[in-house]
Amino acid sequence: MLITGRSVVITGVGCVTPIGTGVEGLWDGLRARRSAVRQVTRFDPEPFSSRVAAEIEDFQPQDHMEKKRARRLDRFSQLAVAAARLALRDAELAPEREDRDRIGAMMGSALGGVSFAESQAEVFRREGIRGVDPALALAVFGGAASCNIAIEFGLSGPNSTNAMSCASGTIAIGEAFHAIRDGRADVMLAGGAEAPLSPLCFGAFAIIRAMSTRNDDPATASRPFDRARDGFVMGEGAAVVVLEERSRAEARGGPIYGEVLGYALTNDAHHMTAPRPDGRQAARAMQLALDDAHLRREEIGYVNAHGSSTPLNDPTETRAIKQVFGGHALRLAISGTKGYYGHALGASGAIEAAICALGLKRNWLPPTINLSEPDPACDLDYLANGGLDGAPEFVLSNSFGFGGVNACLVMKRP
């Protein structure tokens, strides 16, 4: 029987990002107000016009799983499993002591294991098929993220991984929220994982001139809403949140970061890389998320913007925010946090949802770093001079991706 209207709270946050790992690592990275973008070291970037990225420098998979298990997973799946473990630990939730038929996993990733496949293609050219890692067949598909989380923790509830470009992580959290609200699960691990830093994947985005070429000053290359922005900066990472039915979380005394109230998904149906110029479908996604949350636009106090630092996205998102919020848009606090950690594609929305949850709990939301001269077309309050002290009661998180995908989440302070 379908049950509707159940309250859903966030009880755990797990993340592996270029600015820090775990709740405290992420928080310290945000408070430091410094970018993790550097010259690419994972491969030789010299052939490309863009040569900067946000790499995770200290990730050791064996810190989060058995060595034998880690060897069977590519980096994308390692990041997913690591973030899930951190989230469960943070939630003080032990799946083996729960009804695991009622616990599921939903993840998002734009590229899945494509980077691993790229490395194995090189092996194939050198050594033939006998040299290829047998794990390739099951590592390359996007579903490896949620499936490996399920295997690692024995979760037999709803399971899926979507590949809806840069909105993937947000979609995963939104769909997991609906699964609990509708009674199909009691607990969900949801988020995104991305490990795209390999020559072919990186070069593919360089070819279409989507990425910043600010190679002489990497730390300021990702600069959402700034007049001098010239493209996004590729990053890697993973974030997973534990979503739980409220009464269940309260009964076990679990920590509560906030409540997920609304989620919506639309498509521009316009172009594979360029957003719809009028921002209408992005605005509709925001409005539908507000409707799902049963909130008036004036009740939102903060927006974590997609803020990709591309010439087209940032003014279009500004235009969409104005359409939804009208005069209230001038009173909104808004920040684009990709200046810190770049754009981890399908993981970005999950990282940003985790930031919102953490900020709501700790009563501070981060600024837009590297915003030194606002674009006249981006004329709202993007918290350029510092973060927001005193988190509002309701926040909105936006993720807009290639293919015209628009996904939005609404969250409430605990």
d(CA 340, CA 342): 6
Whether 166 is catalytic is yes
Phi, psi of 119 (to 5 degrees): -65, -35
Reduced to 3 states, what is the DSSP secondary structure of residue 90?
A: helix
C-beta atoms surrounding 414 within 10 Å: 13
Given the residues 306, 356, 378, 408, select the one marked as catalytic: 306
d(CA 287, CA 303): 13
Alpha helical stretches, state H, 143-245: 144-153, 168-181, 199-207
Tell me the CA distances in angstroms from 142 to 53, 106, 113, one per residue in order.
22, 11, 6
C-beta atoms surrounding 67 within 10 Å: 8
Nearest to 241 by CA among 373, 356, 391, 384: 356
Given the residues 15, 147, 166, 356, select the one marked as catalytic: 166
d(CA 297, CA 303): 11
Given the residues 15, 147, 201, 343, select the one marked as catalytic: 343
Whether 356 is catalytic is no
Phi, psi of 29 (to 5 degrees): -65, -40
Whether 328 is catalytic is no
Contact 367, 386 (CB under 8 A): yes
The residues annotated with a catalytic role in the active site are 166, 306, 343
